[in-house]
Amino acid sequence: MNVLKTSSKTTEGASNPGNPELNQIRDEDRAVHRWYRFVLSFPPHLVQEYIHRFNLNSSHRILDPFCGTGTTIVESKKLGISGTGTEANPMAWFAGSVKLDWSTDPIELLDLAQQISEAANNLINRKSKTLRTLPEESQKVILANSISPLPLHKTLILLEQIKLHAQPAYSRHLQLALAKAVITSISNLRFGPEVGVGKAKLDAPVVDAWLKEVSLIAEDLSQVQVLNDIPAKIYHADARQILNVLEPESIDAVITSPPYPNEKDYTRTTRLESVLLGFIQNKAELRSLKEGLIRSNTRNVFKADQDDVWVSRHAEIQRIAQEIEDKRIALGKTSGFEKLYHRGVKLYFGGMAKHLADLRSILKPGAQLAYVVGDQKSYLQVMIRTGELLADIAQGLGYELIGIDLFRTRLATATKEQMREEVVLLRWTGKMPLQPYPYSDKPL
Residue 160's pLDDT is 97
Is residue 435, in this structure, part of any structural domain at all? no
Cβ atoms of 104 and 308 closer than 8 Å: no
Q: How many domains does the chain have?
A: 2
Q: What pLDDT is recorded for position 2?
A: 31
Dihedrals φ, ψ of 422, to 5°? Answer: -125, 165
> Are 327 and 380 members of one domain?
yes
Is there a domain that residue 439 lies in?
A: no
Rg (CA), the chain: 22
CA gap 1, 12 in Å, rounded: 23
Q: What is the pLDDT of residues 260-271, one digit of tens each?
A: 998 889 899 999
- Give a yes or no: residue 334 inside a domain: yes
Assessment of whether the complete model's pTM goes beyond 0.85: yes
User: Are 41 and 71 found together in one domain?
Assistant: yes
Dihedral over Cα of 284, 289, 291, 295: its sign:
negative
Q: Which of 390, 369, 360 is nearest to 255 (CA)?
A: 369
pLDDT tens for the chain, residues 1 to 444: 333 233 323 333 333 344 556 778 899 999 999 999 987 788 999 999 999 999 999 999 999 999 999 999 999 999 999 999 999 999 999 999 999 999 999 999 999 999 999 999 999 999 778 999 999 999 999 999 999 999 999 999 999 999 999 988 899 999 999 999 999 999 999 987 778 899 999 999 999 999 999 999 999 999 999 999 999 999 999 999 999 999 999 999 999 999 999 888 989 999 999 999 999 999 999 999 999 999 999 999 999 999 999 999 999 999 999 999 999 999 999 999 999 999 999 999 999 999 999 999 999 999 999 999 999 999 999 999 999 999 999 999 999 999 999 998 877 766 678 889 999 999 999 999 888 899 987 655
pLDDT at 410: 79
268 and 402 in a single domain? The answer is: yes
Alpha carbon 71 to its chain centroid, in Å, reads: 9
Last residue of a domain, which of 181, 198, 226? 226
In whole angstroms, give the CA distance from residue 391 to residue 426. Answer: 8
Report the DSSP pairing between strands 61-64 and 82-87.
parallel
Report if residue 100 sits inside a domain: no
Residue 171 CA, distance from chain mean position: 23
Last residue in a domain, options 168, 193, 226: 226
Contacts (Cβ under 8 Å, ≥6 apart) of 304: none
What's the residue count for the chain?
A: 444
User: Are 214 and 84 in the same domain?
Assistant: no
Write down the pLDDT at residue 21.
66
Do 313 and 419 lie in one domain? The reply is yes
Q: In whole angstroms, give the CA distance from residue 18 to residue 24.
A: 12
Q: What is the span of the domain harbouring residue 350?
A: 8-89+244-428
Asked whether residue 57 falls in the same domain as residue 112, the answer is no
SS3 56: coil
How far apart are alpha carbons 197 and 183 in whole angstroms? 11
Residue 311, domain member (yes or no): yes
**Residue pLDDT, tens place only, 306-365:** 999 999 999 999 999 999 999 999 999 999 999 999 999 999 999 999 999 999 999 999
| Distances 253 to 63, 194, 427 between C-alpha atoms, Å | 6, 31, 9
Q: The CATH number of the domain where 394 resides is what?
A: 3.40.50.150
- Can you give the pLDDT at residue 23? 74
Confirm whether 349 is domain-assigned: yes
**Are 78 and 169 in a shared domain?**
no
Whether 1 maps to a domain, the answer reads no
433 assigned to some structural domain: no
Task: Indicate whether 216 and 327 sit together in one domain.
Answer: no
- Say yes or no: 128 and 203 in one domain: yes
> Which amino acid is it at 349?
F
277 shares its domain with 353: yes
**How far apart (Å, rounded) are the C-alpha atoms in residues 293 and 281?**
18
Q: Is 403 left (phi over 0), alpha (psi -120 to 50) or beta?
A: left
Q: How much is the pLDDT for 1?
A: 31
Same domain, 330 and 368: yes
The verdict on 49 and 147 lying in the same domain is no
